[in-house]
């Protein structure tokens, strides 16, 4: 029976009124994704995904990503084995945007792990048995009014999630600090609290901000300075009472190599959408780990497929920090069985590859073909 390949567009939202809102993104009520599905004999052979409305991080418009994906898909030999997919893409499209490459690489990795009969984390080189273990994850507190923020934090804590990241940088620092203090008072010393400034601080005021957060037990501060200010970030990290994490600064494999070489900060936040695939994430994580830099594996508030891919990479790398909340509370996601969140853990579906057994195609199919 021929292989059917299609690329569809999805729109996903969160239940309970949750809206992604950071200092750089603004309010983002809808997550827009592309999904690549490959089916054979009425069964799922591979699935990949990439969120497209992330120009606030990537600098690449969603339309540009879609155009690149469709151009690549139309030029591929879909009858070739999965192991030939990425080498061909990289040879013909060396400048393919990372979110577009991510889609194809993820599908190929899922297919090859399924063929090997292994969960994706084992196929990626992780050590252990055939069962996919649950993984811990933080939760994020997006910008919202303080009463709603504290209520949501309480809900997370009641479900066992005590690693919480507060998004700051939208109001003044004094308000941010007051919100952090009240969060600490509400949850107590057992909570592991951090903040993400999304590059909104300046080098002159940052040391004082860090001292204030350290006094309240902040676990780390993510991207305090603008992404391009590497020298200032290194100076700040050397004198900081709180570990610093780079995120937006790490937008390419070249940036990863620079951080490993220079030791710019204590922690690094890796995301598939920035690097362009699981293969590059595994390389980056191992390189940074060898340089003594702590790694967080995270995601871009993505759906089930991409969240699972990031989780498998985190397990394979043994990443000490994990930000895998993306599919918690999502509506309309057709990937089944869905992961579940509870007791402070993400529980992943069992099975080869990503563990996704079914994925119904939606009405917004952008491209499809069949191949022997």
Reported residue count of the chain is 372
Name the phi and psi angles at 213, rounded to 5: -70, -35
Cα 51 to Cα 13, 102, 274, distances in angstroms: 13, 10, 11
Q: Give the number of other Cβ atoms within 10 Å of residue 269's Cβ.
A: 22
Return the pLDDT at 118: 97
Phi, psi (rounded to 5 degrees) for 81: -65, 155
pTM: 0.97
250-262 burial, b for 16+ CB within 10 Å, e for fewer? bbebebbeebbee
Closest by CA position to 328, among listed 146, 164, 123: 164
Which element (helix H / strand E) includes 355? Answer: none
CA–CA dist 103, 35 (Å, integer): 7
d(CA 100, CA 70): 9
CA pair distance 128, 122, nearest whole angstrom: 7
Q: What CATH number does the domain located at 135-347 have?
A: 3.20.20.120
Give pLDDT, residue 189. Answer: 95
Per the rule left: phi > 0, alpha: psi between -120 and 50, beta: everything else, 21 is beta
What is the pLDDT at residue 161?
Answer: 98
Is 3-117+361-371 in CATH node 3.90.870.10? no
**CB 179, CB 195: distance < 8 Å:** no
pLDDT of residue 41: 86
pLDDT at 239: 96
82 neighbors 108 (Cβ within 8 angstroms): yes
pLDDT of residue 221: 98
pLDDT at 322: 98
Rounded Cα distance, 83 and 103, in Å: 15
Give, for all 372 residues of the chain, the pLDDT tens digit.
799 999 999 999 999 989 999 999 999 999 999 999 999 987 999 999 999 999 999 999 999 999 999 999 999 999 999 999 999 999 999 999 999 999 999 999 999 999 999 999 999 999 988 899 999 999 999 999 999 999 999 999 999 999 999 999 999 999 999 999 999 999 999 999 999 999 999 999 999 999 999 999 999 999 999 999 999 999 999 999 999 999 999 999 999 999 999 999 999 999 999 999 999 999 999 999 999 999 999 999 999 999 999 999 999 999 999 999 999 999 999 999 999 999 999 999 999 999 999 999 999 999 999 998
Q: In this predicted structure, what is the pLDDT of residue 156? A: 98
212: left (phi over 0), alpha (psi -120 to 50) or beta: alpha
What's the distance, Cα to Cα, between the start and end of the chain in Å? 7
pLDDT at 1: 76
Strands 26-28 and 20-22, how do they pair?
antiparallel
Domain ranges of the chain: 3-117+361-371, 135-347
């Amino acid at each position: 029976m021929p292989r059917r390949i299609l690329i569809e567009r999805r729109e996903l939202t969160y239940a309970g009124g949750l809206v992604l809102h950071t200092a750089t993104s603004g309010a983002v009520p809808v997550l827009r994704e592309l999904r690549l599905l490959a089916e054979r004999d009425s069964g799922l052979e591979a699935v990949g995904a990439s969120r497209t409305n992330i120009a606030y991080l990537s600098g690449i418009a969603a339309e540009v990503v879609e155009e690149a994906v469709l151009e690549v898909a139309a030029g591929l030999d879909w009858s070739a084995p999965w192991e030939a997919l990425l080498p061909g893409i990289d040879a013909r499209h060396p400048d393919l945007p990372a979110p577009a490459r991510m889609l194809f690489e993820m599908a190929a990795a899922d297919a090859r792990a399924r063929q090997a009969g292994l969960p994706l984390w084992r196929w990626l080189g992780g050590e252990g048995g055939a069962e996919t273990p649950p993984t811990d994850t933080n939760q994020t507190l997006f910008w919202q009014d303080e009463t709603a923020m504290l209520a949501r934090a309480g809900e997370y804590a009641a479900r066992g999630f005590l690693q919480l990241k507060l998004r700051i940088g939208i109001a003044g620092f004094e308000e941010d600090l007051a919100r952090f203090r009240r969060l600490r008072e509400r949850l107590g010393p057992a909570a592991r609290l951090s903040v993400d400034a999304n590059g909104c601080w300046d080098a002159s005021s940052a040391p004082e901000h860090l001292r204030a957060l350290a006094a309240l037990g902040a676990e780390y501060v993510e991207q305090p300075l603008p992404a391009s200010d590497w020298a200032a970030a290194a100076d700040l990290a050397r004198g900081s009472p709180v570990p610093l994490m780079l995120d937006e600064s790490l937008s390419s494999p070249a940036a990863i190599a620079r951080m490993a070489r220079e030791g710019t900060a204590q922690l690094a936040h890796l995301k598939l959408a920035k690097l362009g695939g699981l293969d590059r994430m595994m390389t980056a994580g191992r390189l940074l780990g060898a340089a003594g830099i702590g790694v967080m594996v995270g995601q871009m508030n993505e759906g089930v497929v991409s969240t699972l891919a990031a989780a498998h990479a985190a397990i394979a790398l043994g990443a000490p920090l994990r930000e895998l909340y993306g599919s918690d509370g999502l509506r309309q996601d057709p990937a089944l069985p869905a992961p579940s969140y509870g007791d402070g853990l993400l529980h992943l579906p069992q099975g080869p590859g990503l563990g996704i057994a079914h994925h119904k195609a939606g009405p917004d199919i952008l491209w499809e073909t069949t191949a022997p």
